[in-house]
């Protein structure tokens, strides 16, 4: 995940005029390919090529059926698989996860319909400065180089009040004609929230702490939903859909289409995560790394692009309520003897990655320094 500020995609002929407004295009459908030898320099990460992965991650696939059935033996087995993954790299997949496949299909259908809208209609949901929610792409309002080759639609989710916040977002930004889209994503987010709390229980079991500890911590959370659209890229060796980073959030629940493109850096190698229609990809973020007192990994990952095919994914970023103090369970600290990170509020880490720091593999360490010094670093 990259929670950085974003901007809009537009036809390339508008590139010169739009750049000053933070609008830049990663795609160029206006020129024949032979007239465009390369992609705009803003999207180039390394001139020698990004170097794609050639090996699979082979992360565990965890069957949740027994856990949901109340089978304690199956629950302990699932927790054991999760523990092994989280000690190593923090990535695993889950099947029999309880999320209706039709719900996932409908979410993709609405995403495809949205991204095919004319730019003028998508602009109605344009992400506003200082806000995480809305239609965006390329991050050009924050960064001038190494821009991601993608469009996104992001919105918040919580169920701490009577209002259906996702439905309200779509109606208020895109109008009444998007009420069915809002309803579809409201239901999708509710299913993600339910699954996330189950995963939090399994994570607690795997760490040997009270099994309700993390479930209680996250039950009133404010999470983030994102739809990612990665257009075909004629120079996939030079660009990324999302550059290498660790998620600053707590837990990420991803459904990716069958094109593939997610890669994880493990044991000094980039490795692919094979798409599975029946599975959801789970990875830990920096906030959960702190909640586990540094015991569980938040791993570097990226999304590569495809020369011929568009790629889509649905991502639910699990976050605590902004004012919650992120601190590991006392019995975990007592067992290990030392605190790895100071207490902090999720709002502070979110502010750090929005205003001062482009998420990478050292976010948590640099955030800790910033937190203790209260001085924004000069980074990126």
What amino acid positions are annotated as catalytic residues? 311
How many residues does this entry show for the chain? 380
* φ, ψ dihedrals at 354, nearest 5°: -85, -40
User: By C-alpha distance, which of 239, 209, 229, 263 is closest to 147?
Assistant: 239
Calpha distance 380→74 (Å, rounded): 46
Calpha distance 76→98 (Å, rounded): 18
User: By C-alpha distance, which of 221, 280, 252, 274 is closest to 98?
Assistant: 280
Task: Work out the burial of residue 322: count CB atoms within 10 Å of its CB; fewer than 13 is exposed, 13-18 middle, 19 or more buried.
Answer: middle
- How many angstroms separate the Cα of 171 from the Cα of each of 89, 125, 167, 178, 312? 39, 10, 6, 6, 23
Calpha distance 345→219 (Å, rounded): 16
- How many angstroms separate the Cα of 343 from the Cα of each of 285, 326, 327, 330? 16, 6, 5, 12
User: By C-alpha distance, which of 188, 186, 296, 286 is closest to 246?
Assistant: 286
Through-space distance between the first and last CA atoms of the chain, rounded to whole angstroms? 18
User: By C-alpha distance, which of 361, 356, 358 is closest to 373?
Assistant: 356
Calpha distance 227→135 (Å, rounded): 9
User: By C-alpha distance, which of 2, 1, 47, 44 is closest to 26?
Assistant: 44
Containing 271, the helix (H) or strand (E) segment is strand 269-272
Residues sharing a CB contact under 8 Å with residue 130, sequence separation 6 or more, in sequence order: none
């Amino acid at each position: 995940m990259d929670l950085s500020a974003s901007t809009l995609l537009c036809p390339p002929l508008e590139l010169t005029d739009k750049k000053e407004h933070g609008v830049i295009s990663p795609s160029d459908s206006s020129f024949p390919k032979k007239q465009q030898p390369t992609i705009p320099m803003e999207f180039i990460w390394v001139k020698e090529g990004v170097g794609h992965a050639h090996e699979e991650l082979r992360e565990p696939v965890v069957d949740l059926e027994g856990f949901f059935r109340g089978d304690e033996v199956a629950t302990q087995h699932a927790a054991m698989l999760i523990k092994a993954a989280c000690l190593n790299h923090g990535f695993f997949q889950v099947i029999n996860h309880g999320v209706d496949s039709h719900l996932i299909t409908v979410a993709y259908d609405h995403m495809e319909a949205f991204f095919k809208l004319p730019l003028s209609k998508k602009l109605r949901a344009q992400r506003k400065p200082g806000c995480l929610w809305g239609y965006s792409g390329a991050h050009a309002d924050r960064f001038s180089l190494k821009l991601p080759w993608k469009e996104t639609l992001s919105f918040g989710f919580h169920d701490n009040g009577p209002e259906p916040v996702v439905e309200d977002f779509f109606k208020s930004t895109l109008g009444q004609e998007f009420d069915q889209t809002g309803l579809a994503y409201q239901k999708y987010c509710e299913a993600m929230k339910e699954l996330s709390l189950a995963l939090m229980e399994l994570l607690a079991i795997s760490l040997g702490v009270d099994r309700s500890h993390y479930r209680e911590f996250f039950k009133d959370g404010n999470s983030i939903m994102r739809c990612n659209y990665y257009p075909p890229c004629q120079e996939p060796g030079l660009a990324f859909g999302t550059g290498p980073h660790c998620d600053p959030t707590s837990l990420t629940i991803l459904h990716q289409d069958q094109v593939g493109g997610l890669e994880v850096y493990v044991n000094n190698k980039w490795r692919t995560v094979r798409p599975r229609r029946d599975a959801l990809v789970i990875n830990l973020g920096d906030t959960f790394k702190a909640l586990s007192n540094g015991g569980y990994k938040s791993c570097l990952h990226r999304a590569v692009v495809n020369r011929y095919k568009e790629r889509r994914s649905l991502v639910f970023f699990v976050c605590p309520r902004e004012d919650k103090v992120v601190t590991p369970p006392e019995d975990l600290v007592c067992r290990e003897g030392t605190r790895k990170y100071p207490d902090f509020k999720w709002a502070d880490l979110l502010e750090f990655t929005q205003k001062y720091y482009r998420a990478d593999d050292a976010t948590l360490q640099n955030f800790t320094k910033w937190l203790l010094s209260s001085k924004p670093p000069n980074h990126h």
